[in-house]
Amino acid sequence: MYAPRTVDTNEVRNMASDVTGETAAARAASSVAFRSSHPGYAEKLLRISVGVFDFADGYRLAYSDNSNIKKGIYPFYCDFDGYQDELLGGAAWLRRNSQADSYLNYIQNNGKITCC
């Protein structure tokens, strides 16, 4: 069974930090996986991941709060908790991959849980 899939660009008017943060994490994780077998490709994935993460963090908006793209993403990507966990996941994979202190600082500064 096939479901219709739409394609959206992720630009400022179509921002979705949750989806974009997951994309950054996936590319950074893929970079780790390809590091020994295809180092050039791994470096390219890491470079792209950094740019995607910076974009997601710089223009924070959850897809569920963006009427331009909500219809096209839901029900394929269902996240109702905001974008913070996806940005932290992206930062964690970038830290794992690059060992850059800036990502560790990001996690420490943005990983605070507020409850109730």
54 found inside a domain: yes
CB proximity list for 108: less than 8 A, separation 6 or greater: none
Predicted pLDDT of residue 14: 65
70 found inside a domain: no
* pLDDT tens string 49-76: 999 999 999 988 877 776 666 666 666 6
51 found inside a domain: yes
Q: Which domain holds residue 17?
A: 12-65+76-110
Predicted pLDDT of residue 4: 54
For the chain, what is the domain count? 1
State which residues of the chain have pLDDT below 50: 7-8, 116
Q: Model pTM greater than 0.95?
A: no
91 found inside a domain: yes
Predicted pLDDT of residue 13: 60
92 found inside a domain: yes
Chain-centroid distance of CA 89 in Å reads 7
97 found inside a domain: yes
CB proximity list for 28: less than 8 A, separation 6 or greater: 45, 46, 49, 53, 90, 93, 94, 96, 97
